Structure 1
């Protein structure tokens, strides 16, 4: 039976010009390259300049994805930007990106699920496409997390970076079979009981300030391994695939220990996991599309590749998307 699938037509990314190494960080906070690498796997991250906004990064990533997809912006009818660091409280960063791209029809809005934001945004776009409300969508993950960091707190400021990634989705008829291209399965979850484990201590509705990121690292690590492994297993059961049938795992890049823990728990071969944490740090909602773009540029993605994207973020939120390239 014919079905409509959301096929990924193109992927793109954009990183700020400035690179901050661990050595650079050691000049402003009590830390060292050895300490950071041992605990996180991070060696450097990109930091946005004053002229580089979340929308700037997001629009650049989206343009590259559109060029690679061979799709004109006038044919896009949905723009979703996953971000926890919008340019303004309102309007949505997505509408600014929509304008910068030259998209003049359909809808544009932001999604806020922190590090799970790109998975949430893909899920929403897929549902719009399957419902017939959108034919072509740009889905973006873009962050300037450096602007909500406490640069005196070495437990958090060493972990995060800025950047953006994007994909272009297109509605295409498929056969409804295992060999279908496009998004096969989406699964999103949240549990607000843990909202105080990873949060920002500010907001317009509470403190009237932006605030800084705060994190209980030990608890976040424990839940991340458990919840991401769980959602991967749920996705595999729901779709009938075995873990070794997945060609590429593209996880949220939070910490190399989390990635290693998930791989070990599921018995996934290291070479099947895309890891960009060392170069980008944790870029929140941007990390999965940035990693996806890296896999594309390294020719690790081929037509027919089964790709599993998964993440967990503040809230807690978590989820997974299975797609065939």
Structure 2
């Protein structure tokens, strides 16, 4: 283990929410040679540049957390960008890792890889068993391709490239843009602004009955490193050559109403919550089956309210950055 702590570990996408959490976790565990490269230093869409970076740095392990991400509006507006950039990023990094002799790599995907009407909770076996959610299909297809890239390099070249699929993530370095953020940062921002204005009501889209699962990004980082550190025999005993990815989540969910009530407590909002049932609810439930991950010895440890408090404090500490983004 001591020698592993000194090996070069490349975290692609270190400025994003997941990548930054992985870097924090690796540092806390004593990893002394963590490699990162921002967009101004390395264009991950440039195959030659990525290959040269790997050749120059003699990388031992890779966490592939880099991706083009966004909400429903962005996915609907720029589908070509989402499929092209994500395919190029993962293909360039995985091929460069192989060509430079990197034996172990972890690819981070998304729960959107599963069919729109997958049985709940969603098992790994649900992959490619039905049609995808149309709004983010290009992004999902790119993530599925990443899984299959890893599986293919393992089969053809004997590599040990692994994939983890997280549920809905939140935490430090989340996107708090008023128009493009996901549900947790959007609610934290809306309730905080309501408190600042002295509002006595917050209106929330939908009936509040849909159920969602949320995982703090620090738990995601811990799970990623746990999976990466598993010995190959143990990992393969719980996966299959053509079904090698592992779900990462809490295994529990809550209603949007329960989420909103918790956000109200965290932000100090004491007014009324009104649910606008004329607005769409989306999928009734979206929950990950995490039994495979539990069998491998890992479970989430950060409760929702604890995690929301942490995310909200991070927002308060950095809110100047988000002013004027609307």
Q: Which TM-score applies when normalising by structure 2? A: 0.31
Question: Which structure is higher in strand share?
Answer: 1
Select the structure with the greater relative contact order (CA < 8 A; seq sep ≥ 6): 1
Q: Which TM-score applies when normalising by structure 1? A: 0.31
